[in-house]
């Protein structure tokens, strides 16, 4: 029988069973696309099935030999091309005044050249240090060109954190933010404020010289952690994939506590892998404890994600202490045999300290812990349900698009945004199958596997049930760290097992598509979206910033309590967040513009961007949608224009109509 023939060649084992189970799971999930329209329901089953099939093929093929590599002359030229290209990106940005589609196209090509150096050069010409230098420089150039050409800041929440930092500087004490939830997690604001004092520069410059500088450098932590598990070539691959990742790039430009929390999270991940892979000392474990405390004192969402990582490490410890995966059969040629690290004390301390801090954190007239538990309970009672898929948020806003008819571009753009993630997810699936082999499994790689699995539940699983309380869009950059490591292991597996023709096809597809997919995703170009009619721009021109400040001067920046409901200011999202979060006019919200009709608000702000790019308004039912409107649909002819600078106008009731 065929079964017996296969059984004699390759006895069924845990990774084989997992691959077959993955195929069956993919077939089971495939019909869900007929019950709900959601991009991950349409793609993940196919991706999982493909990854499992490739792994099974790799099991029953001979090891690849004589894989083609680039000629030595070409390999030695690539670093010069990348460095010249990076210089060209800087010049291009300065000349054009913004990052244009041409910029992103060139950046995608440079990303392909980076991956090509790693995957298609021989051992003699591969220089990991030189590749890492290029990766870090790429991360710096890609992020700082956006910061350089953008007046003000990129993003939404950053305006709130700048105001909080300014209040701390002005008062010289944390008491200035005592009523804010960041009072108990102030490391970000203290770092920026102290940098401003130390360097004697404005807050914006201090932010870029502190958090902005460490973000590109943090990719080295991914390299260091991966290098504890695999050779340098694959560690550089993990670091490169992480540096190219869209959400990672976003937090390098939208510099908020999430950014600093991500840096500390990567440091925790590295320190955790380190204590699992070496004969650690008290100093190593103390560093791990210190870094985990730093996360708790920096950002609440980052803290929760770190706790998920630590929980995964603890479960991995239990599996290897009492489970079926003992160390007696560990293949020491793959991973060094080492007794599982006892993490009970670390996990207990971090959970206890987190609960203590969150209980003291003020949030909406209650503690942060009580408030989030209340929100979660309310969601379970009111909106949770299978395939009750919550709408995607836009920059963590609740506004969403409810259009029922979509153009071809509107249908394609979501897949472009998700393509890079899907490619890395496929490689991660292969890496997970590789490490569950009993002779390869050990605490460190099982921690990565479980952490990625748990985080995918929060990112992809819970939203299928209408649960988005955990802000899944914030998790991607953290999730990319274990995914990049496991993905590098997965590609290494295919590289060494598949036939030359098949492995070259797989690697070429990855090298050619992955960088561009990540760079053209919305998160990588929030300052000037490639698909400007589908994604809102989260940066503002000088005229738009000036208008917000002038509106504050014109109205006297009244407090929210002094503004009547009929005096609320209405404009598009995200511009309404700039006006409200800077304190120019606190009671500002998204305007309601019914289909085919005009807004019926007394106080409105129109900007020309509303007619040319993607902005959000509410429709007649109160749902958010992307729409481009003409000026007279928001600023009606019967209203008076009390401020205009050519790009932005503020309209109020006309005295003649009152």
8 A C-beta contact, residue 305 and residue 478: yes
Q: How far is CA 274 from its chain centroid?
A: 24
Residue 146 has pLDDT above 80, yes or no: yes
Query: Which residues, in sequence order, are CB contacts of 81 under 8 Å at separation 6+?
Result: 113
199-250 pLDDT per residue, tens = 999 999 999 999 999 999 999 999 999 999 999 999 999 999 999 999 999 9
Task: Give the model's pLDDT for residue 110.
Answer: 97
103-125 pLDDT per residue, tens = 999 999 999 999 999 999 998 89
Task: Give the model's pLDDT for residue 620.
Answer: 81
The SS3 of residue 644 is strand
Residue 5 has pLDDT above 70, yes or no: no
428-468 pLDDT per residue, tens = 999 999 998 867 778 899 999 999 999 999 999 888 888 88
Kindly state the helix (H) or strand (E) to which residue 616 belongs, with its residue range.
strand 616-618
The SS3 of residue 433 is helix
Angle between helices 476-497 and 219-227 (to 10 degrees): 40
Residue 658 has pLDDT above 80, yes or no: no
36-79 pLDDT per residue, tens = 778 888 899 999 999 999 999 988 776 646 678 889 999 999 99
Task: Give the model's pLDDT for residue 644.
Answer: 94
Q: How confident is the model at residue 324 (pLDDT cuts 50, 70, 90)?
A: low
Residue 7 has pLDDT above 50, yes or no: no
Q: How confident is the model at residue 278 (pLDDT cuts 50, 70, 90)?
A: confident
Residue 557 has pLDDT above 90, yes or no: no
The residues with which 77 forms a beta bridge, in sequence order, are none
Task: Give the model's pLDDT for residue 333.
Answer: 47
Sheet holding 648-653, edge to edge: 588-590, 569-571, 603-607, 648-653, 639-644
Range with lowest mean pLDDT among 132-146, 311-325, 568-582: 311-325
8 A C-beta contact, residue 308 and residue 338: no
Q: Strands of 533-575 (E only): list them.
A: 569-571
Q: What is the mean pLDDT of residues 406-435?
A: 90
| CA separation for the pair 298, 388 (Å, rounded) | 33
177-189 pLDDT per residue, tens = 988 899 999 999 9
8 A C-beta contact, residue 607 and residue 571: yes
Token code pair at residue 73? 């002359």
Half-sphere exposure of 534 (CA within 13 A, CB side): 19
What sign results for the dihedral spanned by CA atoms 516, 89, 147, 193? positive
Range with lowest mean pLDDT among 256-260, 294-298, 397-401, 456-460: 397-401
Q: CA 541 → CA 43, 149, 254, 528, distances in Å? A: 37, 10, 16, 11
Task: Give the model's pLDDT for residue 239.
Answer: 97
Residue bearing the bigger pLDDT, 654 or 553:
553
Task: Give the model's pLDDT for residue 617.
Answer: 94
| CA separation for the pair 116, 69 (Å, rounded) | 10
Q: What is the mean pLDDT of residues 475-493?
A: 96
From the list 422, 545, 523, the residue with the least C-alpha distance to 159 is 545
Token code pair at residue 544? 């738009």
Token code pair at residue 421? 């993630």
């Amino acid at each position: 029988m065929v079964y017996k023939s296969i059984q004699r060649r390759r006895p069924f084992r845990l990774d084989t069973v997992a691959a077959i189970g993955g195929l069956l799971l993919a077939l089971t999930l495939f019909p869900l696309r007929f019950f709900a329209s959601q991009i991950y329901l349409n793609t993940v089953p196919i991706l999982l099935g493909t990854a499992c099939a490739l792994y099974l093929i790799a099991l029953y093929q001979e090891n690849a030999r004589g894989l083609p590599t680039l000629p030595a002359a070409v390999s030695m030229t690539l670093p010069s091309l990348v460095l010249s290209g990076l210089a060209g990106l800087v010049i291009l940005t300065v000349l054009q005044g913004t990052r244009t589609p041409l910029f992103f196209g060139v950046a995608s090509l440079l990303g392909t050249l980076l991956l090509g150096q790693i995957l298609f050069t021989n051992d003699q010409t591969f220089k990991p240090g030189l590749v890492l230098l290029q990766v870090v420089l790429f991360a710096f150039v890609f992020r700082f060109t956006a910061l350089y050409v953008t007046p003000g800041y990129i993003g939404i929440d950053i305006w709130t954190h700048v105001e909080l930092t300014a209040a701390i500087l002005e008062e010289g004490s944390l008491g200035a933010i005592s009523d804010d939830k960041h009072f108990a997690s102030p490391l970000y604001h203290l770092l920026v404020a102290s940098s401003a004092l130390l360097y004697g520069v404005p807050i914006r410059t201090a932010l870029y010289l502190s958090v902005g500088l460490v973000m590109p450098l943090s990719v080295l932590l991914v390299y260091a952690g991966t290098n504890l598990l695999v050779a340098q070539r694959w560690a550089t691959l993990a670091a490169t994939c992480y540096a190219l990742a869209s959400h990672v790039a976003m937090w390098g430009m939208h510099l908020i506590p999430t950014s600093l929390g991500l840096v500390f999270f990567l440091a925790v991940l590295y320190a955790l892998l380190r204590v699992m892979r070496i004969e650690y000392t008290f100093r190593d474990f103390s560093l791990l404890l210190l870094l985990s405390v730093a996360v708790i004192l920096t950002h609440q969402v980052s803290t929760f994600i770190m706790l998920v990582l630590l929980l995964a490490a603890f479960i991995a410890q239990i599996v290897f202490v009492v489970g079926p995966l003992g160390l007696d059969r560990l293949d020491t040629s793959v991973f060094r045999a080492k007794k599982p690290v006892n993490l009970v004390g670390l996990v207990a301390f971090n959970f206890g300290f987190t609960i203590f801090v969150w209980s003291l954190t003020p949030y909406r007239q209650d503690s942060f812990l009580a408030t989030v538990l209340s929100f979660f309970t309310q969601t379970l009672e009111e909106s949770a349900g299978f395939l009750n898929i919550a709408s995607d948020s836009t920059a963590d806003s609740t506004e969403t698009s409810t259009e029922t008819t979509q153009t071809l571009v509107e249908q394609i753009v979501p897949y472009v945004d998700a393509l890079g993630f899907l490619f890395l997810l496929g490689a991660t699936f292969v890496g997970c199958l590789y490490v569950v082999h009993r002779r390869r499994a050990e605490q460190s790689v099982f921690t990565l596997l479980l952490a990625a699995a748990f985080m995918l539940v929060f990112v992809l699983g819970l939203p299928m049930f209408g649960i988005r309380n955990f802000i899944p869009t914030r998790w991607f950059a953290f999730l990319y760290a274990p995914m990049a490591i496991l993905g590098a292991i997965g590609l290494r597996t295919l590289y060494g097992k598949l036939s030359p023709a098949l492995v070259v096809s797989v690697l070429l597809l990855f090298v050619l598509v992955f960088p561009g997919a990540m760079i053209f995703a919305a998160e990588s170009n929030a300052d000037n979206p490639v698909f400007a009619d589908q994604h809102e721009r989260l940066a503002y021109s000088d005229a738009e910033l000036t208008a917000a400040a002038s509106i504050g001067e014109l109205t006297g920046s009244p407090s929210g309590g002094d503004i009547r409901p009929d005096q609320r200011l209405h404009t598009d999202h995200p511009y309404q967040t700039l006006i409200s979060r800077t304190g120019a006019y606190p009671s500002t919200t998204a305007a309601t513009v019914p289909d085919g009709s005009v807004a019926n608000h007394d106080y409105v702000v129109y900007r020309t961007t509303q007619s040319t790019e993607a902005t959000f308004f509410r429709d007649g039912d109160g749902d958010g949608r992307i729409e481009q409107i003409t000026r007279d649909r928001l600023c009606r002819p019967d209203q008076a224009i009390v401020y205009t600078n050519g790009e932005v106008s503020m309209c109020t009731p006309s005295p003649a109509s009152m």
